[in-house]
Structure 1
Amino acid sequence: MARKLDEKDIDLLKKLAPECIDLECSSSGVNFKSILPPVANHFSKDISDFSHRLEALSEKELEYLLDLIKDGRESLGCLRPDYVMAFQEMVARRAGEEQAGKIIKIYTANDVCE
């Protein structure tokens, strides 16, 4: 679901990608509508960098992000499968296998990039 990032979302995006100055996607000219896709696709150098950035999330921030994903407000559709797997592995380690399984189900059920 496309959405407008609120202040909390923007703060989280900038925590994961401190170099993020403009909230506009350079390739589409549209404002970012999710947190993880720009971190993965625009700011991370590679999957290792993406994983490292995710480790900066506090437990509360991770829980917030997982709630956004489960509610359909955070899109995983624009992430490459290997980046989703890196996110899923971090979720399994920090929030449990059940939460990680939900992430994969959501990703495989909705392949739309918003």
Structure 2
Amino acid sequence: MGRKFTNKDIEIFNKLAPETGGNTTSAMGHQYPYILRPISHRIAQSSDDFKNRLNKLSSEELDYLVDLALKDMEDIRSLDPGDIDALMDVISEKISSERASELKRHAGII
């Protein structure tokens, strides 16, 4: 289940959710196992908010998250449906539609 966050993971999490003040643990005291799921479920107020947060990432940071998801080290299947669409939109815009399609196929979201 999940992984231990690297410094890069923490940096990306903080960029997506600066209001957490660097806290990457849940209310239950467990480290979040993924970056995007707590942003989707607990922090972003809407799919538009989620998309705006994702747009703060560089294409390299976004591609890093795609790589993690393709290795099943980042969970995108359990994001809110509108947030999955927002993620795919941002990937298409910042990286490529082919990369978004690759991730959709991998996650079985087609």
Q: State the TM-score bracket (shorter-chain normalisation).
A: 0.7 to 0.9
User: What is the letter of the counterpart of residue 20 of structure 2?
Assistant: C
- Is 1:49 aligned to residue 44 of structure 2? no
Greater than 6 Å deviation, 4+ residue runs: none
Q: TM-score, normalised by structure 2?
A: 0.87
CA RMSD of aligned residues (A): 1.6
**CA distance in structure 2 between the aligned counterparts of 1:75 and 1:98, rounded to whole angstroms:** 19
Q: Which runs of 5+ in 1 are unaligned?
A: 110-114
What residue is the counterpart of 2:79 in the other structure?
79
- 1:19 is aligned with what amino acid? E
Instruction: Using the TM superposition, give the Cα deviation of residue 29 of structure 1 relative to its aligned residue in structure 2, in angstroms.
Output: 4.1
Identify the residue that residue 10 of structure 1 maps to in structure 2.
10
Give the distance between the partners of 1:108 and 1:30, measured in 2 at CA: 28
Q: Distance in 2 between matches of 1:67 and 1:54?
A: 15
Percent identity over paired residues: 31
Over residues 76-111 of structure 1, what are the superposed CA-to-partner deviations in whole Å (9 max), with x where a residue is unaligned? Answer: 1320222111100111122111111122123327xx
Structure 1 Cα separation of the partners of residues 18 and 70 of structure 2: 25
Number of aligned residue pairs: 108
Give TM-score scaled by structure 1 length. 0.85
